[in-house]
Structure 1
Amino acid sequence: MFHSMVARARASNSDIAVLIEPELVLLPDFMAALQYAHGLEHDWLLVAMPPKISYFPFYMERPGKWVEQGGLPVEYEKVQQYVRRKRKWVNCGGGKLWAWNTGELPLHAGVMPAFIYGKGFHNEWLLNEALSSDFRFAFDASEAISIFDSKIGMDINGHSVENVDNTYKVGRLWEVEGNTHLATLYGSFYFRPANFSNNPVRLVECDGIYSFIIPSDETKSREAINLQLSPPETNSEKESSEHQIKNGKLMTSFRRFFLGKRQRKPSIRLGQSLLQGTGNSDVWKDKILGSRMRRQLVDCIYRSNSERRKLDCPTSKMNSVLHPALTLSLPFSLDTLLQKVTDNEKTVILAVVGNNYRDMLMSWVCRLKRLKISNFLIFAIDHQIYQFCVLQGLPVVMDAHAMNISFNDCHFGSKCFQRVTKVKSRIVLQILRLGYHVIFSDVDVYWFKNPIPYLKSFGPGVLAAQSDEYNETEPLNLPRRLNSGFYFAHSDNATIVAFDKIVKHAALSDMSEQPSFYDTLCGEGGVHRVGDNLCIEPETNLTVHFLDRNKFPNGAFRGLWEKDNVDGTCKTQGCMILHNNWISGRKRKLERQVSSGLWEYDASSRMCLQSWQGTKSMSSY
């Protein structure tokens, strides 16, 4: 997710943070541009977009060692000259490289939404917000550095290839739809002027001298640029120069950070460009204002303007108003989505959830990701949580009979709770029939470690389930003590037949599905109990194994949730999971889990909590 990448870079303690797409190649002049930017007095944000190169005759034999196609070594200066000579500007709309000084100011106002990386709008959105917010001096350094896409050039067979950004030509893919939806809802991107983020102030480098060029509506000529190379000396000249500046686009940050403030370094205002010197004032003036150097600088800036005037971007032709889909959906059936998310042994972790447990779902997902577990699937029982999961890039399917879930009054024992729980066994049965093994987990179950290998060790014909008995002196399999919020079911004939019986029993019951589990598998009153931790269903011969409470404790066992150090106590005890049940009400359950420290999600930023968060003071306005 793009917002977490930016947040990770912002948390850096280095002087400069750089966020770069992995296929880009940078030559050493990038460091010179960074050094120049680092000397600016104000917080800044550098953006760059790689140009197109239809044929690239060099390759890197090892880091820093370039060779031609024939194997002869070549100096990087030649590579750099080739890139600058052959580049064509076709990419636009944001950037693929970002760099900024790690000061206290945020990059933009507000919170960045959870864009899916590489699926459109996130780069353009970030540049738009940075320019609109005006916290930092934002500029485009694409022309000042030698940058190109490594996918552009020659393929493995030596054939010339081209890489054209098809972000806006791929059709309405669900990822693109989701990013479009987020770009519309968050920030000012929805209200942007046409072509807004294609025209930031540009940084160019001419013979070792850096110049900022201001975009303007007017077509510039060599003579116009030449006239601007001398600072205005009279009031009329000054007014004329400032009038030209006011007519330029997107000049808020440039005017604020440069034209409206005194510079420490010797500088010269160029009307539509500004140069900064780096040494003794007299020496610098002699160097810059000499007629030859001035003419070379004029020519360089003119060539740059001529190049960029040819820029023709898909985004520049977009309407100022986006038209996202009213509803979002994944183009996958249950079966096709299962094929994408299950592990090699066709095991899936299933959570069934409504919008009232949105934050707890995300904490659960973040915990699984921290444990490097990815074979999970979410079953949404209302439209709101389904849309939310799609926007978060989560694998989700929705019940054909979506419900309206009460946000705070769907707790244990309520009519809402009874309806919701009966969905769970029905979807598990559906997945079992498709040939997949299911680890069912309520989202209020905290996973300390990966229990999958342990659960699989029970083998087929066994349903391994958590016990709801909290009294240590009592058997695990007492009547109505099978917890249907955490169990492992094999996709075998005995289990499928047993679940079919559970679903039918629950449909006729005015209680939740949990009593149906016990009464079907262990018999009413526990007539099919075997020992202290087993039941055997007589018709299917399915064995129910009640899991060890030390490893799989329920929410009332040993008062674990009330311990001063829940995490440490559970780990010492050998917990694999801990169920946050035996407490009434969503709010109380949420407060208990957050206060215990067993919480993995930051709802304000919609990101999983990370160890690097808090290493540096960060703020969002």
Structure 2
Amino acid sequence: MLSSIISTMNFSLFFPSLSFNKALKLGVWSIWLSGFTLICCSFYATQFLPTVKVEFRKSSFLYPRNSADKNDPSITLFSAPSPFNGSVGKRQGLAVRSWLGLSPNINVVLFGNDPSIQSFASAFGSRVYVESDIDFSFLNVPFFHSMVARAEASSSDISVLIHPETILLQDFLSTVNHVYELDHDWFLIASSKRSYFFPFSLDNVGRQWLREDGIPISLQKLQEVLAQTWQWDYCGGRMLMAWNNKDLPLHMGVLPPFLYGKGVDNRWFVNEIYHSNYRFVFDASWTISNFHVQNSDDDHEPIQSNRASTFADHTKTNWEYNGNLQLAELYGLLSSNQTNFSDFAKLVKCDGKFMFTNKDQNIVYSPKHQGSNSLWKGQVEQSRMQKKLIACLTGFSIFARIMNCSVESKMSDPVPLHLPYGLEMLLPNLADENKSVVLAVAGYSYKDMLMNWVCRLRHLMINNLLVCALDDETYEFSIQQGIPVFRDSLAPRNISFNDCHFGTKCFQKVTKTKSRLVLQILKLGYNVILSDVDVYWFKNPIPLLQTFGPAVFVAQSDEYNVSVPINLPRRLNSGFYFVRSDDPTIAAMEKVVMHAMTSDLSEQPSFYDTLCGLDGVNRVGDDRCWEPTTNLTVQFLDRNLFPNGAYQGLWEERNVRAACVEKGCYVLHNNWISGRTKKLERQLINSIQFCLFPNWILVWPCFSRKNTRHAEELL
């Protein structure tokens, strides 16, 4: 009709002498010619369309499960929301309600530790559970590998990883119920769509969508409205991923410690699962309506918690993305063998029937139980119904070829990792309510012990830890592990990997760095618990340490002889102590640092000789010293609660953990043994490890449901 109007207008303009009837006839002829041309073009184009073949495999993964197993599967959706505040909280709340309204067989696990998440979940009873027992970075960003480990360990039939603002419609349920019947382990992805116009809400029950005026809207009408407004976000960070929980793992190898939602994590994960060949991997983007509502003025910052917001605009950098990008290069196949998602088998629905189509082979598969056997055997005959089927599948195939997905080729020239925060910015954001921080100083040779120490403190919910990296390798490693870290410009360089133990020149340089840093932090107004990374924390000692008042230096004793006082000369252990930011302590620490600078020994003798006097002339009783010029008291800690590595032969016990628990130990020092290798061997032999890192790749969750039994045995 439009072409006839245009044709008539054109002829009237250029040939005004023609009569109206002639112009009308010419218009009709133009319509006929246009139609004939389109028919010819369509016929020509169909010659190049692939021949669609259909195959039925009786023993393949498409063979349906036994009828006895056809109960509706239990489904758990795992998501890591931001705090439920403001417009973001409203969108997240609507999304979660859309999930729960689909079926009573659906439960939700929300990863987070913000109080607003727990408050939101409490309204839904046992169907929504808040899981804080996973790994988070110091900005409270969850680690993707820890989330996956928790989801893999789920007892539900199907696990789903989903963005907290993604809304689901009923076709999600019909899709997962269908693929659950496949007699093979599977893994699906579904790309999200974004909608800038969504004037709908859920009723109180959460099952019926309502218009703005409160009138119910049918699911079909809702999908028609969405189809006109949403845009595909193919391969974006809001991709939905789901799998059945059976015997096979998702992938081989190790999942790196990606920061969730910061880029690359989803694509690396899917690529690794595809190449592992454990599961049938397919794209269900055409059968699952998953979308999010986005305002034009929304910022696109990835998921983060309130703690991150205290770092102001400094968080709006790409250091987290660069960290994920480096991990993607170091681990797995993404950098060398990247698969485009458009190559995956597609789950589509034509004429009310689910079927899989493969773009490259142009083969269509459909389970036998959906139709008559004759329809799904051999090559499709050109019947009217089958032509309709081919047209439907061709439409999916053409669209699928357009939607390519690949990681940007930036991996050949990685950007060095650098946190946009220095020590003075980290301190106020990490310190606890008493303005205290837990400080560790480490080089790359001790990275395994460092990570073990960090994991244990995370397990104890101690979040005010801070690490000073002695080299670039430790600095970047700590960033990748989500550890708050800073570099010390005055730290010694060229630290030996294996020869930096007690008594060596390297050890002396490193220990003197520790006391200088502690003094620097004290002068900034913060209390410090200094802990070497070979000190294993069994309980949180901070509440006990803070019971000691001002002007008290609290330290571990290095004395192992049970029959002598614990404050004998040079028995103050500088590997574990607590100091407050007050004038007497700062003055005393200045004396210690000055003494250490002029000494050829490590800092440990400087502590004792300065605070307790040469040969212990300032000793008070059996467990204290008093420094007269600063009026500082030195309190040696009870060895039963804070034992050193030689006390009562604890490291020689058959079960070190049980022996320490019996004594009520807070910490146990892995000292009085020479060399990093020997310390590490003693740690492993006695199962004093709080991270699981196969082949010493420190990327496993510090603790997860998957490793709960093993962790309980260790702890």
TM-score, normalised to structure 1, is 0.82
**Is 1:408–2:498 an aligned residue pair?**
yes
Structure 2 partner of 1:277 = 368
Within the candidate set 369, 383, 395, 2:484 is matched to 395
Structure 2 partner of 1:53 = 195
Structure 1 partner of 2:353 = 209
The 1:33–1:162 alpha-carbon spacing in structure 2 relative to 1, beyond 3 Å, is farther
Within the candidate set 250, 254, 257, 1:107 is matched to 250
Structure 1 partner of 2:151 = 9
Deviations 1:582-614 (A, max 9, x none): 122222222222222321012225224436335
Task: Write the distance in 2 (CA, Å) between the matches of 1:102 and 1:564.
Answer: 38
Task: Write the distance in 2 (CA, Å) between the matches of 1:337 and 1:462.
Answer: 25
Gaps of 5+ in 2: 1-142, 304-314, 711-715
Task: Write the distance in 1 (CA, Å) between the matches of 2:508 and 2:300.
Answer: 53
How does 1:221-620 map onto structure 2 within 5 Å?
245=361, 271-279=362-370, 281-282=372-373, 293-294=385-386, 296-305=388-397, 308=400, 311=403, 320=409, 322-400=411-489, 401-604=491-694, 606-610=699-703, 612-613=705-706
Task: Write the distance in 1 (CA, Å) between the matches of 2:529 and 2:203.
Answer: 49
Task: Write the distance in 2 (CA, Å) between the matches of 1:104 and 1:441.
Answer: 42
Within the candidate set 278, 283, 294, 1:140 is matched to 283
Task: Write the distance in 2 (CA, Å) between the matches of 1:206 and 1:281.
Answer: 15
Task: Write the distance in 2 (CA, Å) between the matches of 1:549 and 1:61.
Answer: 62
Shift of 1:458: 0.8
Task: Write the distance in 2 (CA, Å) between the matches of 1:44 and 1:465.
Answer: 56
Q: Which residue type is aligned with residue 123 of structure 1?
A: N
Q: Which residue type is aligned with residue 544 of structure 2?
A: Y
Task: Write the distance in 2 (CA, Å) between the matches of 1:166 and 1:609.
Answer: 23
Q: Is the 8 A contact 1:2 1:114 kept in 2?
A: yes
Shift of 1:359: 0.9
Task: Write the distance in 2 (CA, Å) between the matches of 1:355 and 1:615.
Answer: 28
Q: Is the 8 A contact 2:342 2:400 kept in 1?
A: no
Structure 2 partner of 1:69 = 212
Give the secondary structure class of the aligned counterpart of 2:266: helix
Task: Write the distance in 1 (CA, Å) between the matches of 2:454 and 2:464.
Answer: 11
| Equivalent residue pairs, number | 550
The 1:93–1:138 alpha-carbon spacing in structure 2 relative to 1, beyond 3 Å, is farther
Q: Which residue type is aligned with residue 324 of structure 2?
A: N
Shift of 1:129: 2.4
Within the candidate set 173, 176, 190, 2:321 is matched to 176
Sequence identity, in percent? 49
Give the secondary structure class of the aligned counterpart of 2:528: strand
The 1:584–1:189 alpha-carbon spacing in structure 2 relative to 1, beyond 3 Å, is same
Structure 1 partner of 2:172 = 30
Q: Which residue type is aligned with residue 21 of structure 1?
A: H
Deviations 1:65-103 (A, max 9, x none): 433222334455544554455432133257622112234
The 1:594–1:613 alpha-carbon spacing in structure 2 relative to 1, beyond 3 Å, is farther
Q: Which residue type is aligned with residue 172 of structure 2?
A: F
The 1:464–1:93 alpha-carbon spacing in structure 2 relative to 1, beyond 3 Å, is same
Task: Write the distance in 1 (CA, Å) between the matches of 2:321 and 2:393.
Answer: 37
Q: Which residue type is aligned with residue 467 of structure 2?
A: I
TM-score, normalised to structure 2, is 0.71
Gaps of 5+ in 1: 155-159, 217-244, 246-270
Q: Is the 8 A contact 1:180 1:324 kept in 2?
A: no
Tell me which structure has the larger Cα radius of gyration. Answer: 2
Shift of 1:164: 6.5
Give the secondary structure class of the aligned counterpart of 1:466: strand
Shift of 1:493: 1.4
Shift of 1:120: 0.5
The 1:171–1:345 alpha-carbon spacing in structure 2 relative to 1, beyond 3 Å, is closer
The 1:470–1:81 alpha-carbon spacing in structure 2 relative to 1, beyond 3 Å, is farther
Give the secondary structure class of the aligned counterpart of 2:147: helix
Backbone CA RMSD of aligned residues: 2.9
Shift of 1:209: 1.2
Q: Is the 8 A contact 1:184 1:324 kept in 2?
A: no
Task: Write the distance in 1 (CA, Å) between the matches of 2:629 and 2:351.
Answer: 87
Task: Write the distance in 1 (CA, Å) between the matches of 2:681 and 2:302.
Answer: 46
Q: Which residue type is aligned with residue 6 of structure 1?
A: V
Task: Write the distance in 1 (CA, Å) between the matches of 2:376 and 2:445.
Answer: 67
